[in-house]
């Protein structure tokens, strides 16, 4: 359970009240809550689903078209990032792992786009192209106060996931999410 995106900020109390009401009606509800304000994912997973259809190579082909890039940028502005919701700005998304731009690990998309004097959507598409779709990012889209409220609720357990990475390998992994 997590409340990701600007449209969900501050809604932990409402969510927990709804679950409490269901429990009072006899519904057996227990939850696990994501314990971080940031999440990690492949950069390509932030894009609208229609762009990703057909696999990575098909997606990269689409993203070479400036018209498609503009459409993707508009859709992200209007609807947010797939699975993460709307973000305040591209300052909330940082490069975690990049095969070709390892020196950019920890830098956010807005900062990188400003440095390159390009639009964030163009930087994203160029990153995906350079890494054949394998770039990973950390997305900070969850309000810390909501995280804490969910974790304090008695029927919530901590739930997280992550790739198993040997401790000596983490140093070579860019800036992975804390769950690694």
Calculate mean pLDDT across residues 98-104.
Answer: 92
Calculate mean pLDDT across residues 83-106.
Answer: 93
Tell me what percent of the residues of the chain surpass a pLDDT of 90: 77
Calculate mean pLDDT across residues 155-172.
Answer: 64
Please check the confidence at residue 137 and state whether its pLDDT lies above 70.
yes
pLDDT of residue 163: 61
Q: What tens digit of pLDDT does each residue of 20-65 get?
A: 999 999 999 988 998 999 988 999 999 999 999 999 999 999 999 9
Tell me which residue range forms the domain holding 83: 38-141
How many Å apart are CA 125 and CA 91, to the nearest integer?
A: 17
Tokens of 95: 């490069």
Q: Are strands 31-33 and 156-158 parallel, antiparallel or unpaired?
A: parallel
Are 9 and 54 members of one domain?
no
Please check the confidence at residue 167 and state whether its pLDDT lies above 60.
no
All residues at 6 or more sequence positions from 130 whose CB lies less than 8 Å from its CB, including other chains: 98, 99, 100, 101
Helix H segments across the chain? 12-24, 49-52, 56-63, 66-79, 109-116, 120-130, 144-152, 167-170
Please check the confidence at residue 176 and state whether its pLDDT lies above 60.
yes
pTM here is 0.85
Calculate mean pLDDT across residues 148-155.
Answer: 92
- Give 130: exposed, middle or buried? Use CB within 10 Å, 0-12, 13-18, 19+: middle
- 171 located within any domain: no
CB count within 10 Å of CB 44 equals: 22
Are 1 and 29 members of one domain?
yes
- 105 located within any domain: yes
Are 102 and 69 members of one domain?
yes
Are 52 and 14 members of one domain?
no
Are 49 and 120 members of one domain?
yes
Average pLDDT, the chain: 90
How many Å apart are CA 42 and CA 47, to the nearest integer?
A: 10
pLDDT of residue 111: 97
Q: What's the number of domains the chain is made of?
A: 2
CB count within 10 Å of CB 23 equals: 13
Are 56 and 104 members of one domain?
yes
Are 53 and 137 members of one domain?
yes
All residues at 6 or more sequence positions from 74 whose CB lies less than 8 Å from its CB, including other chains: none
- 148 located within any domain: yes
Please check the confidence at residue 128 and state whether its pLDDT lies above 80.
yes
Are 83 and 27 members of one domain?
no
Give the residue among 2, 71, 81, 1 at the shortest CA–CA distance from 42: 81
């Amino acid at each position: 359970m997590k409340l990701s995106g600007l449209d969900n900020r501050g809604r932990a109390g409402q969510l927990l009240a709804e679950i409490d009401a269901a429990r009072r009606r006899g519904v057996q509800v227990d939850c696990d809550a994501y314990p971080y304000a940031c999440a990690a994912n492949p950069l390509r997973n932030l894009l609208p689903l229609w762009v990703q259809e057909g696999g990575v190579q098909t997606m990269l082909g689409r993203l070479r078209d400036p018209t498609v890039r503009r459409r993707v940028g508009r859709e992200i502005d209007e609807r947010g990032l797939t699975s993460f919701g709307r973000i305040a700005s591209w300052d909330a998304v940082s490069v975690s792992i990049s095969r070709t731009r390892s020196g950019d690990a920890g830098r956010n998309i807005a900062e990188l786009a400003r440095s390159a004097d390009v639009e964030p959507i163009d930087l994203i598409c160029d990153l995906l192209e350079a890494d054949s779709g394998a770039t990973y990012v950390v997305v900070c889209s969850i309000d810390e106060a909501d995280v804490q409220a969910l974790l304090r609720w008695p029927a919530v357990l901590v739930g997280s996931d992550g790739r198993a990475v040997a401790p000596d390998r983490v140093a070579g992994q860019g800036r992975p999410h804390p769950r690694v």
